[in-house]
A and B are shown apart, each in its own frame.
Chain A
Amino acid sequence: MRARKAAPYLLLLPHILLTALFVAGLAAGIGQSLGLMPALGLTEPTLDYYREAFTRPDMVRAVLYSLRTAAVSALIATAAGVGICAVLVISRRTHDRLVGLVRLPIAVPHVVVALLTVLLCSQNGLLARLACLFGLIDEQSQFPALLYDGWGVGVILAYVWKETPFIVYFVLSLMANIDGSLGQTAVNLGAGPWRAFCRVTLPLCRDTVLSGFLIIFVFALGAYELPFLLGATAPKALPVLAYIEYVHPDMHHRPYAMALNGVVILISVLSALAYYALMRRKAAALRERGGTR
């Protein structure tokens, strides 16, 4: 009987060790953001670095830039992903061979996505050449600067290309299941397919859609590759600026990096709690629908 009580903890042991390492990393980061670096003789906690993060112009612009690109790309990807799912579910094409293609962008590393974006969207990329072919522009320089621009259009486009398929992958099977049972009931009761989808299927998938949104939002907020490879020199993305401060030869710059990271952690932890709440609700809903004996 004692073995049985201990069993779940034994099974969790490797995960607990990894989690300990993970939390230690986060704690160290938070500690440094509060100015705690015993190696440099800094032992007094202070909020100065955060204060600077919210006043130093390049830092403020980095925070805003990252929040904007992450939010815009995650919103577009989620909306597009759900829209594609809706069309697939309603037209009963969820098992079409072409749908399998969504797994392709998921498997493409972000650095390759950056390369693809350059090949397509730069001022001498394929899109610019097409624009020229159709007589929209004559010179390369007339093509809008999508890359290395202050708005991060190229970064957003790259994220949308990569994350829309992720949302489809994340949501589609659940949506197809729900629509297959309850959605058809609604259609049977007289609702049109779109109405049934919006009134029945979509609300039931809401938690999963929201958690998918949170995953890609937080990812885009803190990812380094795309803004590093496709972003402008100013404003810099939050993680890019944080890394510059982090590797600064003067170790006293490190708390700035950590304060920037602290801002991300704050947003992340709120997202994590929201994600966890959503997952619990989903698990509870599944249990309810499964019924208990």
Chain B
Amino acid sequence: MELSISDLRVCLQDREILHGVDLDVADGELLALLGQSGCGKSTLIKSIAGLLDVRSGEIRADGRSLLGVPPERRGTVIVFQDLRLFPHMTVFDNIAFSMALKKRPRVETAQVVERLLEDVQMPGYGRRRIRELSGGQMQRVALARALAAEPRLLLLDEPFSGLNEGLRDEMGRLVKKLHREKGLTTVLITHDRQEALRLADRVALMQDGRILQCGTPEEIFWRPVSREAAAYFGRINCLPGRAAGGTFSCALGAWPCALEDGPWTAAIRPFDMRAVPGGSGYTVTGIDFLGETAELTLTGPAGAITCSVTAGALADMGLAVGGQTGLEADPGRAVYFKEEART
């Protein structure tokens, strides 16, 4: 299903939560909706599924408006964060819920449920009760139940947030695999940027009830449209400077650019900064050892700059807090944001 949302406004208890959301999801796509908690992600998917009243705007599926269509006839199935398995039913009955509503023959239902249980790697669990399941198993059942409803659009509302890291990765891979195999259109809500980048075809960044930017993971990562969008993927160094005659100059030096003249800020990620041992101008004011990588804080003319290095490189450099070093940037990786002209 192709989903198209335009200028969507939604209120909860008289407070506007979504302030004009525009979003398109292509047929067969896996879109990650990325944003901090409270930014309106859940409100957005509940609106898509028809569980909330829309104040204004439009939601279209394959060109047809969904507004006024009751939730059960939209084909938009949500897997909620709290899973919402029916506690009074067995695993089998949970998964078969939508098929029973459609009065499918029992034999067919049994086959489909068995196949779905295999798909989510829980064969033979049909007769179990919900309270006998572990957290990871409940998540699989919730996913299988949603798939059994043959969704035109599958909406996943942070369903893995309660799991430990290993299980999260496993569930993520499972979702991506099932998404591909079944040719689903999927929207995955998450606040974990790694998860979004790894799983999604495209990522939509959401903040304060608006979509900040939407694009492929690479676009979102390398070409953020704003400082907020850039900041979402971890720390970024902002270097105020000026462009003049095709050259950008800032505290870290000058390099060619294709910008119109005026004040600009260059944003450069920590991995595109390079400490130069033996050089000078910057003092090491902090070293955060993170295992495979480390973050150096270098203070000098450009202010406090964060610089990421691999653990091996750090060992080779032999830097210590208080030591002197030089600093270089990789200008090719810089993203520029126009500053309001100051007089």
Contacts and interface: CB of A to CB of B under 8 A. Distances in A.
B42 A4 contact: no
Contacts of B68: 1
A293 B42 contact: yes
Interface string B48-68: 000001000000000000001
B286 to A, nearest CB: 37
Interface residues of A, number: 3
A217 B53 CA distance: 45
B302 to A, nearest CB: 42
Contacts of B53: 1, 4
A1 B42 CA distance: 21
Nearest to A4: B53
Interface in A255-293: 293
Contacts of B42: 293
A30 B93 CA distance: 57
A4 B68 CA distance: 11
A293 B68 CA distance: 25
A181 B65 CA distance: 48
Contacts, number: 4
Nearest to B54: A1
Nearest to B37: A293
Nearest to A5: B53
Nearest to A1: B53
Contacts of A4: 53
A83 B341 CA distance: 73
Contacts of A293: 42
B15 to A, nearest CB: 12
A35 B53 CA distance: 52
A293 B41 CA distance: 12
A4 B42 CA distance: 21
A264 to B, nearest CB: 39
A201 B42 CA distance: 36
A293 B39 CA distance: 11
Interface string A32-48: 00000000000000000
A4 B67 CA distance: 14
A283 B42 CA distance: 25
A293 B42 CA distance: 9
Interface in A47-68: none
Nearest to B42: A293
A4 B50 CA distance: 13
A1 B53 CA distance: 8
Nearest to B81: A293
Interface in A1-37: 1, 4
B118 to A, nearest CB: 34
A293 B53 CA distance: 17
A293 B189 CA distance: 15
Nearest to B12: A292
Nearest to B67: A1
Interface in B35-49: 42
Interface in A193-215: none
A127 B42 CA distance: 67
B324 to A, nearest CB: 50
A290 to B, nearest CB: 13
Interface in B6-46: 42
Nearest to B38: A293
Interface in A215-260: none
A155 B280 CA distance: 96
A4 B52 CA distance: 11
A153 B124 CA distance: 68
Contacts of A1: 53, 68
A1 B67 CA distance: 10
A22 B68 CA distance: 39
A56 B272 CA distance: 97
A1 B68 CA distance: 7
A293 B158 CA distance: 14
A127 to B, nearest CB: 50
A4 B53 CA distance: 10
A15 to B, nearest CB: 24
A1 B70 CA distance: 10
A288 to B, nearest CB: 15
Nearest to A293: B42
A293 B37 CA distance: 9
A222 B188 CA distance: 61
A4 B54 CA distance: 13
B82 to A, nearest CB: 9
Interface string B107-140: 0000000000000000000000000000000000
A1 B55 CA distance: 11
Interface of A: 1, 4, 293
4 contacts: A1-B53, A1-B68, A4-B53, A293-B42
Interface of B: 42, 53, 68
4 closest Cβ contacts across the A-B interface? A1-B53, A4-B53, A1-B68, A293-B42
